[in-house]
Amino acid sequence: MRYTIPALLLGALPAHAASGPFFTLQNTDFSVLIAFLIFVGILLYFKVPALVMGLLDSRAAKIREDLETARRLHDEAKALVASYDRKLKDAREQAERIVANARSDAQAAAASAQAELQATIARKLQAAEEQITAAESAAIREVRETAVAVAVAAAGDVLAGQMSAASAGALIDASIAEVGQRLN
């Protein structure tokens, strides 16, 4: 059926036309016209134009449906992209907040560590000063004790050289009496 119309048209070329009166079956132009009209009549009898129009309408409806589906999918894709853009923006903001919190925490930790270091240094300086003071006190006490020991030894030497046995006995008796009074 697809090739009948082009075949009929090729058959109706003027080169094949017969000479003579037009309304005879001997004239190819007339024969082709009659065949063409019969063919168009058959097409109309079997309602081919309606079938073709129905097929074209169904095809147009399917195309319209496909276009509507494509439009709907396009809108859904736009909504999905917008949703992902919002999620990406939220994730970036959250990441920025996390970085800002980490920076502030790091700064706070650094400040706390610096304060602890200064407190430790102050404690160590105070302990060192206390040790120096204690060492000075111990050195002064040791020097005093040494001075007292030297003075006592020197006084003992001087007294031993000046004192006689009788005065030494009297001095010992006086010392014993004084110790006895202090103990009671």
Radius of gyration of the chain (CA): 66
Look up the pTM and report it: 0.40
In contact, 27 and 21? CB cutoff 8 Å: yes
Average pLDDT over residues 157-161: 69
pLDDT per residue over 42-57, tens digit each? 999 999 999 999 999 9
pLDDT per residue over 72-82, tens digit each? 999 999 999 99
In contact, 8 and 35? CB cutoff 8 Å: yes
Looking at residue 14, what is its pLDDT? 52
pLDDT per residue over 132-145, tens digit each? 999 888 888 888 78
Residue 34's alpha-carbon distances to 10, 31, 42, 53, 86, in angstroms, are: 15, 5, 12, 25, 72
Token couple for 147: 């001075």
Token couple for 160: 């031993």
DSSP the chain: -TTHHHHHHHHT-GGGPPSS-SSSTTSHHHHHHHHHHHHHHHHHHTTHHHHHHHHHHHHHHHHHHHHHHHHHHHHHHHHHHHHHHHHHHHHHHHHHHHHHHHHHHHHHHHHHHHHHHHHHHHHHHHHHHHHHHHHHHHHHHHHHHHHHHHHHHHHHHHHHHH--HHHHHHHHHHHHHHHHHHH-
| φ, ψ of residue 164 in degrees (nearest 5) | -100, 175
pLDDT per residue over 9-55, tens digit each? 555 555 455 566 777 878 888 889 999 999 999 999 999 999 999 99
pLDDT per residue over 110-122, tens digit each? 999 999 999 999 9
Higher pLDDT: 3 or 178? It is 178
Instruction: Kindly provide the b/e burial profile for residues 89-111, where b requires at least 16 CB atoms within 10 angstroms of the residue's own CB.
Output: eeeeeeeeeeeeeeeeeeeeeee
Residues of the chain with pLDDT > 90: what percent?
54
pLDDT per residue over 82-99, tens digit each? 999 999 999 999 999 999
